[in-house]
A = this chain, B = another copy of it.
Amino acid sequence: MTLIEATDMEAIAIGGAVYGTGGGGDPYLGKLLAQRAIREHGPVRLIDIDELDDDDLIVPVAMAGAPAVMLEKLPEIGPMMAALRSLEALLGKKAKAVMSIEVGGLNSTIPFSIASATGLPLVDGDTMGRAFPEIQMTLCTLQGIAASPLALADEKGNALTMNTISNAFTERFVRSITMDMGGSCCMAIYPMTVAQARKAMVRGSITMTQRAGQALFDARARHLDPVAELVRVTEGFCLFKGKLADVQRTTDGRFGRGVAQLQGLDDYAGQRLQLLFQNEFLMARTLDAVLCTTPDLIVLVDLETGEPITAEQARFGLRAAVLGLPCVPAWRTPEAIALVGPRYFGYDHDYKPVEQTVMDR
């Protein structure tokens, strides 16, 4: 068990934005919320799943909605708690721990507020090892763990529960209700026993985000190249360096979709790179080659500071590096690629592991 203090949230939030691959909402908001909760209620007990019993109930808590909406309609603890309590009531069982559904931006830090406010421990891990835009896109789905029963709540006091026949239906219902709730809402979702979680979760991924964030702070303190440090600590690859030339962005209220264009710098001068996103960056391609696609992680970071840039923050003039990080092996089976691979998102391209693409170049 590790105690997470308010200051620890700095590295976790930055690291969460790295693994958030451009999506998952602004980690800054989640950090502020978590820090306020920790100052008020005390530090968060980050535990390994083996500290719990097999039958204990773990409940991931998360926000749903387009990141752009959450910049205006700030996340709050109240509806998170309402969702958690309402799910517990439905299940007739109390949660023994909360968890992050994804280690990406807002949703990697949101559960810290709840853990602090409830006194429940936070399990070190998540259900993706990254961030994804749709609810069925978890390793839980691949293990047959249902997203429902789940509970939704908004800041106005509306609350819903649902029990669906598939995680794809859950995504459909939650997406509609999220729109009706004003573009974002709070969820207590994927309730699972410790035994189930063990099969599906990415273990230690909160610590992993903290390590990535800390590497950036250390690089700054020791005057090292932060991009190189980040590549080292994430065991990733630098795919491109360039200047953001153009960002096309649409928010249909459900997702933030778009394309960011980069013009090469340094070794990449004269080249161009496109980053396609739907909340998260899903494909990085040049004119003649695809460099990295979902489910591998595409991370856009500031060339000077190494700090991650979300798809929402991407704007003309930023000098950035594009990193490719191998996803966890569980995302590389044919079933997983069908669930979250490039073709699901409408890209006519077969998935190829990023390390293989890098080797082939």
Contact = CB atoms under 8 A, between A and B. Distances in A.
Contacts of A179: 176
A164 interface: yes
A177 B162 CA distance: 11
A100 B172 CA distance: 30
Contacts of A223: none
A165 interface: yes
Nearest to A162: B160
Contacts of A268: none
Given A173-B177, A176-B179, A177-B173, A160 B161 contact: yes
Interface in A138-176: 156-165, 169, 172-173, 176
Nearest to A169: B158
Interface in A233-259: none
A169 B160 CA distance: 12
A162 B173 contact: no
Contacts of A218: none
A180 interface: yes
Contacts of A169: 156, 158, 180
Interface residues of A, number: 17
Contacts of A164: 157-159
A162 B165 contact: no
A132 B163 CA distance: 29
Nearest to A152: B162
A88 to B, nearest CB: 14
A162 B163 contact: no
Interface in A161-217: 161-165, 169, 172-173, 176-177, 179-180
Given A172-B180, A179-B176, A180-B172, A156 B165 contact: yes
A161 B158 CA distance: 11
Nearest to A178: B176
A172 B184 CA distance: 15
Contact of A176 (B156, B157, B165, B180): B180
Contacts of A176: 176-177, 179-180
Contacts of A172: 180
B161 A173 contact: no
Interface string A12-35: 000000000000000000000000
A115 to B, nearest CB: 25
A87 to B, nearest CB: 12
A157 B165 contact: yes
A152 to B, nearest CB: 9
Contacts of A180: 169, 172-173, 176
A180 B177 CA distance: 10
Given A157-B165, A159-B164, 10 more contacts: A156-B165, A157-B164, A158-B165, A160-B161, A160-B162, A160-B163, A172-B180, A173-B177, A176-B177, A177-B177
17 contacts: A156-B165, A157-B164, A157-B165, A158-B162, A158-B164, A158-B165, A158-B173, A160-B160, A160-B161, A160-B163, A160-B173, A161-B161, A169-B180, A172-B180, A176-B176, A176-B177, A176-B180
Interface of A: 156-165, 169, 172-173, 176-177, 179-180
Per CB-CB distance, the 4 closest pairs between chain A and chain B, nearest first, are: A176-B176, A160-B162, A157-B165, A159-B163
